[in-house]
Amino acid sequence: MTTETAPSPTSSDSPPPHGEPRVVDVLVVGGGSASETAGPRAAAAGLSVAVVEGSLVGGECPFWACVPSKAMLLAAHGHRRSGSDDHDAAWAWALRRRTDATAGRDDSGKADGLRAAGVELVRGWASVERDDAGGGLARVRRGGGSPDDPGELVDVLRWRTLVLATGSAPAAPPVDGLDDVATWTSDEALSSDHRPASLLVLGGGAVGCELAQVYASFGVRTTLVETAPRLLASENPSVGDAVAQALTGTGVDVRTGVTASRARADGDGVVLELDDGSEVTGERVLLASGRRPRLECVQTLGFDTTGAGALAVDDRYRVLADGRPLDDVYAVGDVNGRAPYTHGANYQARVVADALVGRPREGDETGMPRAVYVDPPVLATGLSADGAREAGHDVVVATQASSDTGRAHVERYDGPGTVELVVDAASGVLLGASVVGPEADSWGGELVLAVRGRLDVELLAEVVHPFPAWGELLLPAAEDARDQVRARRGDEQPGGGAEQPAHTA
């Protein structure tokens, strides 16, 4: 078990401000969604659980990231479909939607939810110590609000098991001059009411693509700059191509394969110099090129980190120190860098909660979905074709680049619709998949299950989708992949050519 060797709470080297520190079975540092998942589950099993959070309970997602982004995206999609060019009114409506969705950044409902589940909430920033034998202290400070200004020490807790769920913060790319021009992080963009006349989006990942489409939809002249040759560069090429088509259709000037080398102010705006010699201009730069894990609370503890600056963990999400997992320290969510999504944090938190209540197991992120909520949305899971080849698989790839199906006909939809299946040629197992199209974040779930369950493409090609549902787009690709695998095995050519039909002379 995780904390059988935890010492009794006597070894504190600095006295707590309010007498002997309280002891909790589980201390979660960071009140984001992982804490909302793991905390109540551990408490329900009879453990004492405290969550320390210096900002808003719920974390980035409901207040500064996913939720306001999705609210703005939905408003943007609605505005585009309305055909109206009254961007001012639509923007004002979108801001109201965003305020509703983020509850005006009031986290009291979420705080109440934790408490109702039997989880103690401690407001403040924790700095953590760990005893050599396991367990340790957490000092909680308030007022400063950041590690650099530690504020007043308000609480000290002794923990038996520590769950680090401190998340991540926006990171600026290394572009000369960015400090001297007007920039937004994604958090700032998603909390500001200002609609710039023009915007330079740095980064063509999920955040950059989503926010570029949001602003362009409301009439903002939007330029997106991405160093990789394609948007969403780690996904199958069909994904980036489809999203580029969607963004271009929304009016975004998509610049891929170029890198911003320098930023400079120009009047009230910004000029970005690109490494192809061209320049792009805008009122402001939106930094959407990455985030960095938040490690401040454990910076003195010498835990192992990854090359990307995340906490290194094993498959049970135990933090590594000198290459060995600690039985009393877990890290879940963005801070371990493995699956930096709200649903990734929640999944890892479920695995850790199982361990906390006596059912330790490894997480399996084989099918972890990656969604991008542009219009139409993207869902990807498992390995890309290139990733599968790099991992040593002999793969067959089946692609379909058409939205032509019964549903598209009924809805008169003629936008992007792509399916790409990556299948292990030897076993027929689906290794990865990506889909783009209306409701793809819904019907792509079938592929998440298939990748996670290591299912055979023979089965996938047998699955029936209701007419006329968008999922019917999957059949041609599944049959193609199945036929390719069969052909590789030599038991039949695609289309049945190897085995002559009995009818023909």
Q: Which 414-473 residues touch a copy of itself, going by CB under 8 A?
A: 439, 441-443, 445-446, 448-450, 452-453, 455, 459-460, 462-472
ω into 340 cis (within 30 of 0): no
Contact flag: residue 2 with a copy of itself (CB under 8 A) = yes
Burial class (CB within 10 angstroms; exposed 0-12, middle 13-18, buried 19+) of 148: exposed
Q: Alpha-carbon distance 189 to 57, whole Å?
A: 20
Which of 410, 414, 426, 489: binder of a copy of itself (CB under 8 A)?
410
Q: Does 496 bind a copy of itself (CB under 8 A)?
A: yes
Q: What's the token pair of residue 244?
A: 């580029």
Ligand-binding annotation for 334, yes or no, is: yes
Is 305 annotated among the ligand-binding residues?
A: no
Beta strands in 34-135 (DSSP E): 49-53, 120-123, 125-130
Is 323 a binder of a copy of itself (CB under 8 A)? no
Judged by CB under 8 A, the residue of 29, 67, 128, 254 near a copy of itself is 67
Q: Is 411 in the site for a copy of itself (CB under 8 A)?
A: yes
Nearest C-alpha neighbor of 43 from the set 60, 25, 30: 25
Q: Is 116 in the site for a copy of itself (CB under 8 A)?
A: no
Task: Please report whether residue 119 would count as binding a copy of itself according to CB under 8 A.
Answer: no
359 sits near a copy of itself (criterion: CB under 8 A): yes
Minimal distance in Å, beta carbon 360 to a copy of itself?
Answer: 10
Which residue, among 174, 197, 168, 195, has the nearest Cα to 66 in the 3D structure?
168
Q: Does 117 bind a copy of itself (CB under 8 A)?
A: no
User: How is residue 99 written in tokens?
Assistant: 């305020």
Is residue 396 marked as binding?
no
Q: Please identify which residue in 409, 414, 426, 489 interacts with a copy of itself, judged by CB under 8 A.
A: 409
Bond prior to 468 in cis (omega within 30° of 0): yes
Q: Does 324 bind a copy of itself (CB under 8 A)?
A: no
DSSP labels for 232-291? Answer: STTS-HHHHHHHHHHHHHTT-EEEES--EEEEEEETTEEEEEETTS-EEEES-EEE-S-E
Q: Does 22 bind a copy of itself (CB under 8 A)?
A: no
Within residues 88-107, the interface with a copy of itself by CB under 8 A covers: 97, 100-101
Distance in Å, CB of 448 to a copy of itself, minimum: 6
479 marked ligand binding residue: no
Number of residues lying near a copy of itself (CB under 8 A): 83
Spatial distance between the Cα atoms of 107 and 103, rounded to a whole number of angstroms: 8
In DSSP terms, which residues pair with 22 in a beta bridge? Answer: 157
Is 44 a binding residue for a copy of itself by CB under 8 A? The answer is yes
Minimum separation from the CB atom of position 261 to a copy of itself (A): 35
The binding site consists of: 70, 166-168, 203-210, 226, 290, 334
